[in-house]
Amino acid sequence: MNMYDSEKMAGILLEEGYALTDESQKADLIVFNTCSIRQKAEQKFKSELGRAKYLKKTNPSLKIAVAGCIAQQQGRAMLKKYPNIDYVLGPQNIHKLKDALKTDITKIFVEENPEVQYMDLPVLRKESVAAWVSIMYGCDNFCSYCIVPYTRGRERSRPSKNIYTEVYRLASDGFKEVTLLGQNVNSYRSDMDFVGLLKLLNTVEGIERIRFVTSHPRDLSDSLITCIKELPRVCEHIHLPLQSGSDRILKLMNRGYTFDHYIKKIERLRKEVPEIAITTDIISGFPSETEADHKATIDALKTIEFDGIFAFSFSPRPGTPALEMEGRLPDDVKSQRLYEILDIQDEITTNKNMKFKGTIQEILVEGVSKTDSDKLSGRTRGNKIVNFRADNSCAGRLVSVEIVKVMRHSLEGKAI
């Protein structure tokens, strides 16, 4: 979501006559699009901001803007703490970047923007094959560890007509894949629900693949599962955050489901769409998590065998109920549990990937591989990265590739 917001801010700046540079010492404006979902992201921002402060000494006309969730949370306090900052813009106010640049007075834009879903901003897309498309903003779920409902505001769905127009234009511009973005896409609701939206977008000629993130397990409906099964452009991949295998911890997290509820959804998904790839998020070391709770998460991983996970240690976030919870675990316990989770999942992912060896996969080629410039890189419908040798003219096309080698995070293939 933040990367997409950055593309929008770049689009606004391009319209204002700015150009992008990789060399920060040449910049007239530096925009930090911050994330506060975890403490580490905040620390990274602070050290980058320190570097920018020195650039301002050699280039006094340099402007510094801070956008994103840290900006939203800290607002005016941020300017007091860091007087070198010129503009502060929360995620609901990125469209005001344009106005901010027209004034020399320091500006703060962190107010609620109830119209955010109606804004169609210019986007400078980094990729030319796959594009992100926001379908909704904010979240109403208030998971006890999460800052999003406070920084991105309450849930608002974008009108289906605007989404359709954006996807139609992307197809006309040669894009082949769209990823629909929302904190909880399953609860999309405008003049139609999420299933209706998928059916509508499935009619856009030229778009070969439709993906979506993120789905909330509580709201994953049978009709959505049927859509994944029946709509040819909707990919067989779902990211369904579990967070913990312990019902007690799930309750403390305010997730709104039990493990039993979750696994029934997985069973239904696999029954209807046997080839579906399922990925998840896990938080290890939530306050008061016992060894038994941790073991329940390990057991969940072994039982479900996800295709991949994003796992992190619990990071207390100011302004969330979890910050006040008793039973905060020491860092070494959190890390040790996290490593255990990652080790077990590495083994599961490798075993799952082994099943691809010798199979022929349809790959949407995204471009040159990030790890080997002699190879092209693309993804399977299940979102697995495949690197293979082929002519550069394959970029942006669907090609058949035989999987010849399996790595933990990617597959190696041979174009056929």
Binding site for ligand SF4 (CB under 6 A): 139, 141-143, 146, 148-149, 183-184, 216
What letter represents residue 252's amino acid?
A: L
Provide, rounded to whole angstroms, the least separation between the CB of residue 35 and ligand SF4: 12
Which 8-state DSSP code applies to residue 18?
A: -
Angle (nearest 5°) at CA 108 between 102 and 109: 90
In the complex, the smallest distance separating the C-beta of residue 155 from ligand SF4, rounded to whole angstroms, is 8
Nearer to ligand SF4, 74 or 183 (CB): 183
Which lies closer to ligand SF4 via its Cβ, residue 257 or residue 306? 257
Q: Nearest 5°: CA angle at 143, between 138 and 149?
A: 25
CA 368 to each of CA 280, 371, 383, 389, 397: distance values in angstroms, whole numbers, following the listed order: 27, 9, 17, 10, 13
| In the complex, least distance from residue 374 CB atom to ligand SF4, rounded to whole angstroms | 39
Q: How far is the CB of 219 from ligand SF4 (least distance, A)?
A: 9
Q: Which is nearer to ligand SF4, 149 or 367 (CB)?
A: 149
| C-alpha span between 290 and 59 (Å, rounded) | 53
Q: What are phi and psi of 325, to 5 degrees?
A: -70, 145
Which residue's CB is nearer to ligand SF4, number 216 or number 379? Answer: 216
Provide CB contacts within 8 A for 145, sequence distance 6+. 253, 283, 286, 314, 316, 317, 320, 322
Q: Would you say 154 or 370 has its CB closer to ligand SF4?
A: 154
- CB nearer to ligand SF4: give 185 or 273: 185
What is the gyration radius of the CA atoms in the chain, in angstroms? 22
Q: How far is the CB of 198 from ligand SF4 (least distance, A)?
A: 20
* Pairing relationship of beta strands 308-313 and 277-284 according to DSSP bridges: parallel
Give the DSSP per-residue string, 178-229. EEEE-TTGGG-BSSSBHHHHHHHHTT-TT--EEEEE---GGG--HHHHHHHH
- Picking from 127, 9, 121, the residue whose alpha carbon sits closest to that of residue 68 is 9
Spatial contact of 276 and 304, defined as CB atoms under 8 Å apart? no
**Cβ closer to ligand SF4: 139 or 273?**
139
Comparing CB distances to ligand SF4, the nearer of 108 and 220 is 220
Nearest approach, Cβ of 77 to ligand SF4 (angstroms)?
A: 23
Q: Minimum distance from CB of 239 to ligand SF4 (Å)?
A: 11
Shortest distance, position 216 Cβ to ligand SF4, whole Å:
5
Q: Would you call 361 helix, strand, or coil by DSSP? A: strand
- Report residue 412 as tokens: 């190696």
